[in-house]
Amino acid sequence: MSNEIKIRQVIFYKNYFLDFFNSLGDKIQRKIIWTLLVIEQQKIVPEIYLKHLEGTDGLYEIRVQTGSDIYRIFCFFDTGMLIIAINGFQKKTQKTPPKEIKRALKIKAEYYESK
């Protein structure tokens, strides 16, 4: 899959995502990298990997699962095909915690203010 042409690019804003990523074990890190490649290379990304969060002004979540462990990484698009990966968390409840969404929206606003 890694030889395919990129349709969109995933970048990381500041260290928000990388701090989260570096706190994880090897198995989940490999799954996250694989999922990011799917998002970069597939013209239509299945909702199982990337889903818009309703009522969040353009916020998406990258969805990663390994076994019973579920992880979410917030992101948004900029200039059409660029995905900015921001904060992530391990999901432990059915609904995405409002405090995580609030944090992601704050980081998104910070990104646009710094442009």
At position 115, the amino acid (one-letter code) is K
Q: Record the pTM.
A: 0.91
Residues 62 and 39 sit within 8 Å (Cβ to Cβ): yes
Residues 17 and 10 sit within 8 Å (Cβ to Cβ): no
Compute the C-alpha angle 103/106/107, nearest 5°. 90
> Half-sphere exposure (CA, 13 Å, Cβ side) for 32?
25
9-114 belongs to which homologous superfamily? RelE-like (3.30.2310.20)
- Tens digits of pLDDT across the chain (115 residues): 556 789 999 999 999 999 999 999 999 999 999 999 999 999 999 999 999 999 888 999 999 999 999 999 999 999 978 999 999 999 988 888 999 999 999 999 999 999 8
Containing 107, the helix (H) or strand (E) segment is: helix 98-114
**Domain parsing of the chain, residue ranges:** 9-114
Alpha helix locations (H) across 23-90?
A: 26-41
Place of tokens 């706190």: 23
